[in-house]
A and B are shown apart, each in its own frame.
Chain A
Amino acid sequence: MPKRSDIQKVLVIGSGPIIIGQACEFDYSGTQACKALKEEGYEVVLVNSNPATIMTDPIFSDRTYIEPLTVPYLEDLIARERPQAILPTVGGQTALNLAMALHREGILSKYGVELIGANEIAIEKAENRELFKQVLIQLNIDFPKSGEAKTSDEALAVAAEIGFPCVIRPSFTLGGTGASIAYNIEEFKVESIRGLEASPVSQILIEESVLGWKEFELELIRDRKDNVAVVCSIENLDPMGVHTGDSITVAPAQTLSDHEYQDLRNKAFAIIREVGVETGGCNIQFAVNPKNGRVVAIEMNPRVSRSSALASKATGFPIARIATKLAVGYTLDEIPNDITQKTPSCFEPTIDYVVTKIPRFAFEKFPRSDSRLSPAMKSVGEVMAIGRTFKESLQKAMRSLEVKWWGFNPLSERRKIKTEGSWVEGIRNYIKTPKPDRILWIAQAFREGITEEEVYELTAVDPWFLRQIHELTQKESEISKYRGKVSHISREQWWDWKRLGFSDPALAHFLKATEEQVRQARLALNVKPEFKCVDTCGAEFEASTPYFYSSYELFGDSFPESKKDRVIILGGGPNRIGQGIEFDYCCVQALFALREEGVESIMVNCNPETVSTDYDMSDKLYFEPLTLEDILHICEKEKPSGVVVHFGGQTPLNLSRSLAQLGIPIMGTSAEAIQVAEDRDLFRELCTRLKLKQPESVAVTDPENVLEAAEKIGFPLLVRPSFVLGGRGMEIIYNSRELQKWLRKKHEISEDSPLLMDRFLKNAVEVDVDAISDGEDLLIVGMMEQIHEAGVHSGDSACSLPPFTLSSKVQQELKKQTELIARELKVKGLINIQFAIENDEVYIIEVNPRASRTVPFASKARGIPFAKIAMKVMLGRKLRDLKIEEKKMDLVYVKESVFPFKRFPETDIVLGPEMRSTGEVMGVGKTFGEAFGKATLASGYPLPLQGTAFLSVKDSDKEACFPIARDLVQLGFELVATRGTAKYLKDRAIPVRSVNKVNEGRPHIVDHIKNGEINLVVNTSALGVHEVGAAYELRRNTLMRNLCYFTTISAARAGVQAIGEHKRVSPSTHCLQEREL
Chain B
Amino acid sequence: MSEQAWKAALYLENDHLFLGRGFGAQAMQGGEAVFNTGMMGYQEVFSDPSYSHQIVVMTYPQIGNYGIQAADSESPTPLLKGVVAREYFSRPSSWRSEMSLGRYLDAAGVPGISEVDTRRITQVLRDEGAQRGIIFPIDSEDETKIRLRGRELLKQVPVMEGLDLVSQVSCKKSWEFDEALNQKRNVQGTIVVYDYGVKWNILRSLSSRNFRVRVVPYNTPAQDILAERPLAVCLSNGPGDPAQVPHAVQEIQNLLGKVPVLAICMGHQLLARALGGETFKLKYGHHGVNHPVKELSSGRIMITSQNHGFAVKTDSLPAREVSVNLVNLNDQTCEGFLSENMRTMSIQFHPEAKPGPSDADFLFDQFIKGFVL
Minimum distance in angstroms from A945 CB to a CB of chain B: 55
A225-B300 in contact given A333-B294, A350-B38 (Cβ < 8 Å):
yes
Q: Report B279-309 CB contacts with A as 1/0, cut-off 8 Å.
A: 0000000001111101000011101000000
Task: Please state if A555 and B292 are interface contacts (CB–CB under 8 Å).
Answer: no
Q: Which of A227, A293, A333, A350 contacts B39 (CB 8 A)?
A: A350
Q: Which of A261, A290, A538, A541 contacts B60 (CB 8 A)?
A: A538
Residue of A with least CB distance to B90: A467
Task: Please state if A347 and B291 are interface contacts (CB–CB under 8 Å).
Answer: yes
Contacts of A347 in B (CB 8 A): 290-292, 303, 329-330
Q: Is B323 an interface residue (CB 8 A)?
A: no
Contacts of A226 in B (CB 8 A): 300
Task: Please state if A257 and B66 are interface contacts (CB–CB under 8 Å).
Answer: yes
Contacts of B289 in A (CB 8 A): 258, 348, 350
Pick the interface stretch among A45-53, A118-126, A247-255: A247-255
A 245-270 contacts with B by CB, 8 A: 252-262, 265-266
Q: Report B344-355 CB contacts with A as 1/0, cut-off 8 Å.
A: 000000000111
Contacts of A352 in B (CB 8 A): 37, 59-61, 86, 118-119, 122
A293-B96 in contact given A255-B66, A262-B356 (Cβ < 8 Å):
yes
Q: Which of B39, B71, B353, B354 contacts A351 (CB 8 A)?
A: B39
Task: Please state if A390 and B60 are interface contacts (CB–CB under 8 Å).
Answer: no
Minimum distance in angstroms from A49 CB to a CB of chain B: 39
Q: Which of A388, A467, A542 contacts B86 (CB 8 A)?
A: A388
Q: Report A332-361 CB contacts with B as 1/0, cut-off 8 Å.
A: 110000000011101111111110000000
Residue of A with least CB distance to B125: A539
B 194-221 contacts with A by CB, 8 A: none
CA distance A346 to B357 in the complex (A): 14
CA distance A464 to B94 in the complex (A): 9
Q: Is B313 an interface residue (CB 8 A)?
A: no
Task: Please state if B65 and A539 are interface contacts (CB–CB under 8 Å).
Answer: no
Task: Please state if B95 and A348 are interface contacts (CB–CB under 8 Å).
Answer: no
Q: Is A462 an interface residue (CB 8 A)?
A: yes
Q: Is A532 an interface residue (CB 8 A)?
A: yes
Task: Please state if B59 and A350 are interface contacts (CB–CB under 8 Å).
Answer: yes
CA distance A255 to B93 in the complex (A): 7
Task: Please state if B61 and A353 are interface contacts (CB–CB under 8 Å).
Answer: yes
Q: Which of B37, B66, B329 contacts A538 (CB 8 A)?
A: B37
CA distance A346 to B295 in the complex (A): 13
Q: Is B170 an interface residue (CB 8 A)?
A: no
Contacts of B66 in A (CB 8 A): 255-257, 464
Minimum distance in angstroms from A875 CB to a CB of chain B: 36
A258-B41 in contact given A352-B59, A389-B62 (Cβ < 8 Å):
yes
Residue of B with least CB distance to A471: B91
CA distance A343 to B37 in the complex (A): 15
Q: Is B40 an interface residue (CB 8 A)?
A: yes
Q: Report B48-87 CB contacts with A as 1/0, cut-off 8 Å.
A: 0000000000011110011001011000000000000011
B 25-50 contacts with A by CB, 8 A: 35, 37-41, 43-44
Task: Please state if B93 and A537 are interface contacts (CB–CB under 8 Å).
Answer: no
Q: Is A619 an interface residue (CB 8 A)?
A: no
Task: Please state if B292 and A539 are interface contacts (CB–CB under 8 Å).
Answer: no
A333-B301 in contact given A350-B59, A464-B65 (Cβ < 8 Å):
yes
A554-B117 in contact given A262-B356, A349-B290, A390-B62 (Cβ < 8 Å):
yes
Task: Please state if B290 and A463 are interface contacts (CB–CB under 8 Å).
Answer: no
Q: Which of B62, B72, B329 contacts A333 (CB 8 A)?
A: B329
A261-B40 in contact given A388-B86, A390-B62, A539-B122 (Cβ < 8 Å):
yes
Task: Please state if A389 and B87 are interface contacts (CB–CB under 8 Å).
Answer: yes
CA distance A555 to B40 in the complex (A): 25
Contacts of B94 in A (CB 8 A): 255, 257
Contacts of B294 in A (CB 8 A): 333
Q: Which of A262, A354, A462 contacts B62 (CB 8 A)?
A: A354
Q: Is B258 an interface residue (CB 8 A)?
A: no
Q: Is A291 an interface residue (CB 8 A)?
A: yes
Q: Is B244 an interface residue (CB 8 A)?
A: no
Q: Is B14 an interface residue (CB 8 A)?
A: no
Residue of A with least CB distance to B361: A266
Q: Is A879 an interface residue (CB 8 A)?
A: no
CA distance A462 to B66 in the complex (A): 11
Q: Is A1027 an interface residue (CB 8 A)?
A: no
Minimum distance in angstroms from A1065 CB to a CB of chain B: 55
CA distance A389 to B114 in the complex (A): 12
Task: Please state if B119 and A227 are interface contacts (CB–CB under 8 Å).
Answer: no
CA distance A332 to B35 in the complex (A): 26
A346-B60 in contact given A293-B96, A389-B86 (Cβ < 8 Å):
no
Task: Please state if A464 and B119 are interface contacts (CB–CB under 8 Å).
Answer: no
Contacts of B69 in A (CB 8 A): 257, 259
A258-B38 in contact given A333-B294, A538-B59 (Cβ < 8 Å):
yes
Residue of A with least CB distance to B290: A348
CA distance A262 to B356 in the complex (A): 7
Q: Is B126 an interface residue (CB 8 A)?
A: yes
Task: Please state if A553 and B120 are interface contacts (CB–CB under 8 Å).
Answer: yes
Q: Is B250 an interface residue (CB 8 A)?
A: no
Q: Is B123 an interface residue (CB 8 A)?
A: yes
Residue of B with least CB distance to A259: B72
Q: Is A422 an interface residue (CB 8 A)?
A: no
Task: Please state if A388 and B329 are interface contacts (CB–CB under 8 Å).
Answer: no
Contacts of A537 in B (CB 8 A): 37
CA distance A332 to B60 in the complex (A): 25
CA distance A654 to B33 in the complex (A): 49
Task: Please state if A467 and B72 are interface contacts (CB–CB under 8 Å).
Answer: no
CA distance A252 to B65 in the complex (A): 12
Task: Please state if A255 and B65 are interface contacts (CB–CB under 8 Å).
Answer: yes
Q: Is B358 an interface residue (CB 8 A)?
A: yes
Residue of A with least CB distance to B301: A227
Q: Is A55 an interface residue (CB 8 A)?
A: no
Residue of B with least CB distance to A468: B89
Task: Please state if A539 and B39 are interface contacts (CB–CB under 8 Å).
Answer: no
Q: Report A539-552 CB contacts with B as 1/0, cut-off 8 Å.
A: 11110000000000
Residue of A with least CB distance to B19: A554
Task: Please state if B93 and A262 are interface contacts (CB–CB under 8 Å).
Answer: no
Would you give 13 A-B contacts (Cβ < 8 Å), ordered by A? A229-B303, A252-B39, A257-B66, A262-B353, A290-B95, A343-B330, A347-B292, A352-B60, A463-B93, A538-B37, A539-B126, A553-B119, A555-B120
A: residues with CB less than 8 A from B are 225-227, 229-230, 252-262, 265-266, 290-293, 331-333, 342-344, 346-354, 388-390, 462-464, 467, 532, 537-542, 553-555, 557
Closest 5 pairs (CB-CB, A-B): A258-B41, A538-B59, A464-B93, A555-B120, A258-B355
